[in-house]
């Protein structure tokens, strides 16, 4: 709290700081009440009058006009039997927690969002580590873990495009700072919720459904495209200003998801097959992205150096194809082809490029996921202690095996697609001229072998540690 307050004083005006400080002091009071409520449940409240504690949420909501005590409004709360007050207060703990969450969300988002302009910076680390954002999700975790907001309230919060943007940068900060991740924000990941560290960042993230994860991931991909476009100087081409307003926020996708039947308890959803239903903003953004693709469209006539720049580590060209695939596979099949019109002489060639690129990106992401998990197990002390128990080891081995199998499958599919398209289609000969994809054929196989060896060594080490533990136990018994 002190760190956050000092940060506000540094980066805001005196008037803004005064307003923020009042809200922070109010949140401190909320946290104290929540702490005392938990102590009350454990039977450890001795210095704080139980009646006053129970009176707190009831009094709060009486002031807000959201609680009515029938026929007793003029009566002092002291005149109520403690059991009655306890029953009344119990009904409103959830609302009390949600009230605090709303206050913190408004406070944190308001002041964290002022740093969005740093997206164009060559070092966006300052943007990632905004204390207000970190405090926001720590508050969410506190309230959820202690039962003051339920899973429905958590999931509903992530239907807000602004909060989705905040959670993306909160996750990036957490990956780098808490778990010392080597992954660059702009690395191989297309879906941030697939990162092995994601469920470890915040317990509340584990209750998010597929709908919320889809919205977070499509916004994450849009954020990467927006960032790369700025870094690579594509933000000067015609239509960029219009694109940046709607595309980066992804509000139309979030609105679309909210209207789907996936909000049902079974989390079933329907695909929208008619492109007539596609939001106008989405159609306009797809056309703008197609122009960006066309501007850097690789052909056999391009010099090698230009192709290499297009398909370099920044991979803006690749990311746009991944975005098109996501839109068509989840929402509007055929939308990109419809938007293309006559932009490309040979659309079939364009489709084959996209198929190959998406296959490559999925294989790269699967390998990155498996490597991240291996790094976490190898370096995190909490995971090292799990070697000792056979049950924990078996669980980790199953997870590693699952990740390894998926990575192997995706890599095999990429190799099959590569050889089928590149070796039979002369129009895609340019793929053979750039090293990134060709190198991955061999390097990916080597990395898969290394990860399988890691899994094998993990099992052997855990067996050895358990043997040593049992040997020490026998010596103590004897």
pLDDT given for residue 180 in this prediction: 52
pLDDT given for residue 405 in this prediction: 94
Instruction: Supply the pTM of this predicted model.
Output: 0.78
Distance CA 98, CA 103 (A): 9
Angle at 81 between CA 75 and CA 83, to 5 degrees: 135
Nearest one of 111, 109, 96 to 142, comparing CA atoms:
96
Domain spans, the chain: 359-477
Distance CA 308, CA 435 (A): 8
- Residue 357, classified by CB atoms within 10 Å of its CB into exposed (0-12), middle (13-18) or buried (19+), is buried
pLDDT given for residue 381 in this prediction: 52
pLDDT digit string (tens) for the chain, length 478 residues: 666 666 556 655 566 566 666 667 777 777 777 776 666 666 655 434 444 555 555 554 454 434 444 444 444 555 656 665 556 555 566 677 777 788 778 776 666 555 444 444 444 444 555 677 888 898 899 889 888 888 998 999 898 888 898 898 888 888 876 555 554 555 788 899 998 889 888 999 999 999 999 999 999 998 888 877 776 666 666 666 666 666 767 788 877 786 664 444 444 455 555 666 788 888 888 988 888 887 765 544 433 334 344 444 347 788 899 999 999 988 888 899 888 877 777 788 788 888 888 999 999 999 989 998 888 888 765 555 554 556 667 778 888 899 999 999 999 999 998 888 776 666 556 565 555 677 788 888 998 999 999 888 888 877 777 777 778 777 777 6
pLDDT given for residue 406 in this prediction: 94
Output the six-digit token pair for 89.
Answer: 């207060």
Contact in structure between 248 and 226 (CB atoms under 8 Å) = yes
pLDDT given for residue 16 in this prediction: 56
CA distances, 474 to each of 389, 460, 477 (Å): 17, 21, 5
Output the six-digit token pair for 258.
Answer: 């909210």
Q: Round the CA-based radius of gyration of the chain to a whole number and report it.
A: 27
């Amino acid at each position: 709290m002190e760190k956050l307050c000092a940060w506000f004083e540094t980066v805001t005006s005196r008037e803004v700081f005064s307003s923020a400080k009042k809200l922070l002091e109010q949140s401190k009071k909320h946290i104290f009440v929540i702490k005392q409520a938990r102590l009350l449940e454990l039977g450890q409240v001795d210095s704080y009058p139980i009646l006053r504690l129970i009176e707190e949420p009831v009094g709060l909501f009486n002031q807000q006009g959201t609680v009515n005590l029938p026929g007793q409004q003029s009566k002092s709360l002291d005149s109520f039997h403690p059991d009655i007050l306890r029953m009344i207060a119990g009904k409103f703990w959830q609302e009390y927690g949600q009230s605090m969450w709303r206050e913190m969300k408004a406070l944190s988002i308001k002041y964290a969002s002022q740093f969005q302009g740093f997206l164009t910076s060559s070092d966006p680390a300052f943007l990632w580590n905004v204390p207000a954002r970190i405090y926001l999700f720590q508050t969410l975790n506190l309230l959820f873990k202690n039962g003051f907001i339920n899973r429905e309230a958590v999931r509903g919060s992530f239907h807000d495009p602004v909060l989705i943007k905040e959670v993306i940068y909160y996750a990036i900060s957490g990956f780098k700072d808490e778990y010392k991740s080597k992954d660059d924000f702009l690395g191989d990941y297309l879906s941030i919720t697939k990162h092995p560290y994601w469920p470890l960042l915040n317990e509340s993230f584990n209750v998010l459904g597929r709908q919320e994860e889809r919205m977070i991931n499509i916004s994450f991909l849009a954020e990467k495209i927006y960032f790369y476009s700025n870094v690579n100087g594509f933000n000067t081409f015609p239509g960029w200003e219009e694109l940046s307003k709607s595309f980066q926020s992804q509000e139309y996708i979030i609105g679309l998801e909210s209207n789907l039947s996936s909000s049902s308890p079974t989390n079933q959803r329907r695909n929208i097959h008619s492109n007539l239903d596609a939001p106008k903003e989405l159609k306009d953004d797809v056309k703008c992205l197609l122009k960006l693709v066309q501007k850097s469209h690789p052909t056999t006539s391009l010099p090698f150096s230009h192709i290499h720049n297009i398909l370099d580590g920044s991979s803006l060209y690749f990311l746009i194809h991944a975005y098109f695939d996501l839109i068509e596979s989840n929402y509007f099949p055929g939308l990109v082809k419809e938007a293309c019109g006559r932009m490309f002489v040979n659309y079939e060639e364009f489709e084959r490029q996209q198929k190959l690129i998406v296959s490559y990106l999925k294989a790269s992401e699967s390998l990155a996921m498996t490597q991240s998990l291996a790094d976490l197990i190898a370096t995190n002390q909490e995971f090292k202690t799990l070697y000792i128990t056979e049950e924990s080891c078996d669980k980790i081995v199953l997870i590693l095996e699952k990740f390894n199998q998926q990575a192997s499958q995706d890599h095999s599919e990429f190799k099959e697609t590569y050889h089928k398209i590149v070796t039979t289609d002369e129009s895609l000969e340019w793929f053979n001229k750039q090293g990134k994809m060709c190198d991955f054929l061999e390097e990916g196989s080597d990395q898969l072998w290394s990860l399988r060896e890691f899994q094998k060594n993990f099992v052997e080490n855990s067996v050895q540690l358990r043997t040593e533990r049992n040997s020490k136990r026998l010596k103590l018994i004897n």
